[in-house]
């Protein structure tokens, strides 16, 4: 079996030997360099922009100002109900956040462009910024689920308020582009997760027809949602290339990452959980206020809408509702980040459950088991409309409970173990449902699989490489379903000139679910044609044939066989074909999922808290995850571990903090190997009845549970302040403040 094997990642050979295909390695004749001048203030107007001194600088070739880019706008693909602003200019005289692009300088070298920026004469009219989302301007307000859940009275009602710090994707490869315009075609090499979406948005922004734009990606060095969007600075490089007729390179400066790449997570929740005297859940209600930043981004309020839709999690709730508001502040616009609103939903819900268990004197695991949806109840429609497809949620929790064990050295620190449960939507679709939700993209994927005359196989898909091992897993699906050796399959991704259309790309844990679903269908068709061709030439029925390595033969007759190369060569030459059969061996299939698949899991964290300093150390971590049929266990387990490590940062250290005048602090602390403990991952497998092949998404699962599990572990270690544990990140300063309030 190829599916289910731990096949080595085929991407690793080139990555480990320095042959990776990154935007930074693109070199074109005559290439010049752009530098983006960004707003130093959080709120105000750009009254004047004198560029004479800049244009006089040696090596400077062009300066693009708001007047030069008038009418160049980017869309919001997920406008919320009531949202008036559905696009935003790449350059604007109105300044809404520190880091907003104001101009691009293009010069022969990156150094010359950067030095010239200091000579730009800016006339700024500064206004008072709004930084606190509670004081922001609300632009959308609606309720999902049962509004009456807010008023349910019961034997036990737990009410808490939560604050989630602004975190940002932090991939190893910064954002960057190289744009080349020949007059006939614009080619953009870029670090995007969604090549076709970047192409579509460029065409609309620049007034070019789609056939004149080609977007190419390589080995994108991590995306985590931050590279889902086409950004203003990336678009400006294309504008510059069209103005100059020369290739223009731009890459994000290290100091710009925290103000230019869209962050996420920033939200406030007020929530209540009602239970009866036996600990049965009666109602869950949350008021979610999401910080949209200076203007709605490409995804707008969507991450907060996912928070609302996934708030009930894997539990039975007779009533559940979420009021959702999105507000504008003078901070960097918020966008996509791995987990897409689901870690926040999990922490709010799971903290309420643990606090209810404490007040009722119940074991927190037993309280969860009492209310988890059982396997016999699936498929199950939550009170917020999510339709969970398959799984065994209680089994996952029991498994992680049995694995978890406290570390107990006598070192003066307080210790505890915390648990969390989750269910997550993966494989975003279907297209029609997305249209009804107001999303201006399709949810399908297509795949092309071709057997060449020598029996080698080439796969084309619209999903993108972002470090998730998708080349390997797609090759495994093609090999298994078509019945060919794995080493004969080559997967080509990330070039809109050859890849089938994908409106979304590699986001939302959908690459293998939807892209793999399309490939499974195409590979099945290729196999059917191979057997039909062999049956015709061997004068046998297709059902009487079998695949034997590199040949197809008649069952029970080792001499009656044809090699795959013989079949493929004849097919491409049009020789001896069955009536009605066209020459060639190429199949294309499209998969538009009938609904989302729902992966799930249970997490446990063991922490030690130093009461003198407030520092929290995660000493051990355990996770049980179910992503349906696992194509490559090594890759999926790696995704889980990576997601957990990443979300430990959200829980304990990562936050972009703004001062009252809207200036962001530029120190940002992702976790290192010192903060990431030993992590044990156990995979369960409940096939999805929706996806061809039974897969569910795996890329984001690891990020959802850690903040909740770690917060519950801190509460277990410090029960005297349990009800105060209500925010991320739980830095030493925050925990010390809880202890000494």
What's the pLDDT tens digit per position in 231-248?
999 999 999 999 999 999
Out of 591, 610, 625, a domain closes at 591
307's tokens:
């928070």
pLDDT digits (tens, 9 = 90+) for 278-305: 999 999 999 999 999 999 999 999 999 9
Write the CB contacts of 706 (distance below 8 Å, at least 6 apart in sequence). Answer: 343, 420, 603, 605, 621, 644, 647, 648, 650, 651
pLDDT digits (tens, 9 = 90+) for 361-413: 999 999 999 999 999 999 999 999 999 999 999 999 999 999 998 778 889 99
Is residue 693 domain-resident?
A: yes
Tally the domains of the chain: 3
Q: Mean of the pLDDT values across residues 421-430?
A: 94
Write the CB contacts of 358 (distance below 8 Å, at least 6 apart in sequence). Answer: 364, 715, 719, 722
Is residue 139 domain-resident?
A: no
- Supply the range of the domain harboring residue 503: 431-591
Percent of the chain predicted with pLDDT > 90: 95
Q: Are residues 305 and 320 in the same domain?
A: yes
Out of 559, 591, 623, a domain closes at 591
Percent of the chain predicted with pLDDT > 70: 100
Q: Are residues 50 and 178 in the same domain?
A: yes
Q: Are residues 374 and 242 in the same domain?
A: no
Say what the pLDDT of residue 83 is: 84
Q: Mean of the pLDDT values across residues 671-688?
A: 96
**Of residues 714, 96, 132, the one with CA closest to residue 417:** 714
Say what the pLDDT of residue 80 is: 83
Is the pLDDT at 732 greater than 80? The verdict is yes
Write the CB contacts of 584 (distance below 8 Å, at least 6 apart in sequence). Answer: 450, 571, 572
Q: Are residues 51 and 198 in the same domain?
A: yes
Q: Are residues 181 and 200 in the same domain?
A: yes
Write the CB contacts of 633 (distance below 8 Å, at least 6 apart in sequence). Answer: 4, 6, 683
Q: Are residues 301 and 364 in the same domain?
A: yes
Element (H, E) at 531: helix 516-538
CATH code of the domain in which 31 resides: 3.90.1170.50
SS3 368: helix
Cis bond upstream, residue 666 (ω within 30)? no
262's tokens:
């869209």
108's tokens:
């022969």
Quick one: CA torsion of 728, 732, 735, 738, rounded to 10 degrees?
-120
- How far is CA 349 from its chain centroid? 22
Out of 591, 624, 655, a domain closes at 591
DSSP string covering 515-529, please?
Answer: IHHHHHHHHHHHHHH
Output Rg (C-alpha) for the chain, integer angstroms: 27
162's tokens:
């939560």
What's the length of the chain?
A: 741
Is residue 57 domain-resident?
A: yes
Is residue 7 domain-resident?
A: no
Is residue 153 domain-resident?
A: no
Note whether 314 and 393 are within 8 A (CB).
yes
Is residue 162 domain-resident?
A: no
Say what the pLDDT of residue 410 is: 86
Q: Are residues 445 and 422 in the same domain?
A: no
pLDDT band at 255 (very low <50, low <70, confident <90, very high): confident
pLDDT digits (tens, 9 = 90+) for 499-526: 999 978 999 999 999 999 999 999 999 9
Q: Are residues 626 and 580 in the same domain?
A: no
Is residue 508 domain-resident?
A: yes
Note whether 737 and 727 are within 8 A (CB).
no
Give the burial class of 460: count Cβ atoms within 10 A of its Cβ; 0-12 exposed, 13-18 middle, 19 or more buried. Answer: buried
Our CA angle for 707, 713, 715, nearest 5°, is 105
pLDDT digits (tens, 9 = 90+) for 440-461: 899 999 999 999 999 999 999 9
Q: Are residues 614 and 526 in the same domain?
A: no
How, if at all, do strands 561-563 and 60-64 pair? unpaired
Is residue 604 domain-resident?
A: yes
Q: Are residues 61 and 192 in the same domain?
A: yes
Q: Are residues 732 and 602 in the same domain?
A: yes
**N-term to C-term CA, the chain:** 59
Say what the pLDDT of residue 269 is: 98
CA dihedral sign of residues 230, 431, 702, 217:
negative
Say what the pLDDT of residue 548 is: 92
Rounded CA gap, 21 and 116, in Å?
A: 31
Is the pLDDT at 223 greater than 80? The verdict is yes
CA dihedral sign of residues 434, 435, 440, 442:
positive
Beta bridge partners of 268: 163, 289
Our CA angle for 288, 438, 162, nearest 5°, is 10
Q: Mean of the pLDDT values across residues 318-332?
A: 98
pTM of the model: 0.97
Note whether 276 and 318 are within 8 A (CB).
no
b (16+ CB within 10 A) / e for 342-379? bbbbbbbbbbbbbbbbbebebebbebbbbbbbeeeebe
Rounded CA gap, 735 and 627, in Å?
A: 34
Note whether 591 and 442 are within 8 A (CB).
no
pLDDT band at 1 (very low <50, low <70, confident <90, very high): confident
CATH code of the domain in which 292 resides: 3.30.365.10
Say what the pLDDT of residue 666 is: 84
Total Cβ atoms within 10 A of residue 681: 21
Q: Are residues 275 and 256 in the same domain?
A: no
pLDDT digits (tens, 9 = 90+) for 558-617: 999 999 999 999 999 999 999 999 999 999 999 999 999 999 999 999 999 999 999 999
Q: Mean of the pLDDT values across residues 138-157?
A: 96
Q: Give me the phi and psi of 37, to 5 degrees please.
A: -90, 125
567's tokens:
């079949």
């Amino acid at each position: 079996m190829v599916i289910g094997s731990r096949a080595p990642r085929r991407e690793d050979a080139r990555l480990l030997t320095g042959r990776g295909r990154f935007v930074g390695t693109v070199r074109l004749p005559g290439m010049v360099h752009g530098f983006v001048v960004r707003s130093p203030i959080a709120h105000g107007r750009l009254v004047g922009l004198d560029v004479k001194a800049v244009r006089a600088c040696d090596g400077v070739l062009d300066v693009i100002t708001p007047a030069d880019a008038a009418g160049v706008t980017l869309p919001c693909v997920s406008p919320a109900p009531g949202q008036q602003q559905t696009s935003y200019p790449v350059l604007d005289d109105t300044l809404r956040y520190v880091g907003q692009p104001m101009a691009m300088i293009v010069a022969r070298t990156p150094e010359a462009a950067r030095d010239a920026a200091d000579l730009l004469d800016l006339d700024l009219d500064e206004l008072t910024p709004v930084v606190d989302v509670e004081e922001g301007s609300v632009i959308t307000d609606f309720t999902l689920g049962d509004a009456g859940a807010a008023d349910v009275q019961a034997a036990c009602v737990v009410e808490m308020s939560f604050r989630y710090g602004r975190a940002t994707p932090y991939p190893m490869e910064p954002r960057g582009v190289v744009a080349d315009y020949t007059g006939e075609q614009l080619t953009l090499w870029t670090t995007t997760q969604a090549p076709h979406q970047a192409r579509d948005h460029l065409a609309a922004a620049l007034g070019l027809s789609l056939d004149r734009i080609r977007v190419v990606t390589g080995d994108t060095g991590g995306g985590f949602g931050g590279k889902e969007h086409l950004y203003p600075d990336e678009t400006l490089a294309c504008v510059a290339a069209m103005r100059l007729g020369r290739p223009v390179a731009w890459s994000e400066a290290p100091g710009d990452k925290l103000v230019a790449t869209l962050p996420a997570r920033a939200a406030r929740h007020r929530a209540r959980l009602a239970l009866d005297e036996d600990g049965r859940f009666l109602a869950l209600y949350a008021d979610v206020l999401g910080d949209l930043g200076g203007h709605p981004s490409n995804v707008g309020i969507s991450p907060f809408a996912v928070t609302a839709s996934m708030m009930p999690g894997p539990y039975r709730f007779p009533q559940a509702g979420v009021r959702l508001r999105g507000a504008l502040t003078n901070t960097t616009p918020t966008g996509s980040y791995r987990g897409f609103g689901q870690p926040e939903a999990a922490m709010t819900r799971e903290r309420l459950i643990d606090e209810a268990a404490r007040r009722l004197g119940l074991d927190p695991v037993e309280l969860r088991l009492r209310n988890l949806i059982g396997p016999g109840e699936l498929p199950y429609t939550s009170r917020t409309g999510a339709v969970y497809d398959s799984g065994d949620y209680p089994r996952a929790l029991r498994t992680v409970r049995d694995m978890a064990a406290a570390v107990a050295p006598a070192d003066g620190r307080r210790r505890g173990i915390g648990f969390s449960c989750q269910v997550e939507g993966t494989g975003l679709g279907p297209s029609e449902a997305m249209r009804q939700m107001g999303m201006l993209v399709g949810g399908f994927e297509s795949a092309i699989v071709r057997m060449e005359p020598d029996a080698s196989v080439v796969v084309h898909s619209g999903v993108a490489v972002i470090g998730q091992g998708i080349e390997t897993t797609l090759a495994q699906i093609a090999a298994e379903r078509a019945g060919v050796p794995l080493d004969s399959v080559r997967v080509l991704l990330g070039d809109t000139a050859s890849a089938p259309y994908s409106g979304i790309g590699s986001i939302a844990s959908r690459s293998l679910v939807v892209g793999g679903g399309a490939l499974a269908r195409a590979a099945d068709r290729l196999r059917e044609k191979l057997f039909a061709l062999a049956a015709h030439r061997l004068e046998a029925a297709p059902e009487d044939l079998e695949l034997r390595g590199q040949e197809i033969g008649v069952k029970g007759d080792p001499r009656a066989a044809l090699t795959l190369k013989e079949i493929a060569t004849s097919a491409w030459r049009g020789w001896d074909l069955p009536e009605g059969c066209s020459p060639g061996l190429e199949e294309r299939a499209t998969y538009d999922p009938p609904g989302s698949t729902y992966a799930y899991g249970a997490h446990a964290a063991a922490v030690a808290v130093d009461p003198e300093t407030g520092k929290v150390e995660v000493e051990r971590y355990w996770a049980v995850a179910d992503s349906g049929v696992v194509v490559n266990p090594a890759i999926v387990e790696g995704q889980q571990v990576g997601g957990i490590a990443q979300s430990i940062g959200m829980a304990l250290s990562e936050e972009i903090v703004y001062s009252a005048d809207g200036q962001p602090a530029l120190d940002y602390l992702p976790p290192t190997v010192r903060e990431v403990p030993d992590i044990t991952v156990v995979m369960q497998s409940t096939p999805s009845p929706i996806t061809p092949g039974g897969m569910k998404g795996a890329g984001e699962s690891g990020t959802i549970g850690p903040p909740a599990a770690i917060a519950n572990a801190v509460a277990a270690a410090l029960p005297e302040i349990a009800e105060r544990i209500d925010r991320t990140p739980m830095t030493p300063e925050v925990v010390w403040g809880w202890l000494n309030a």
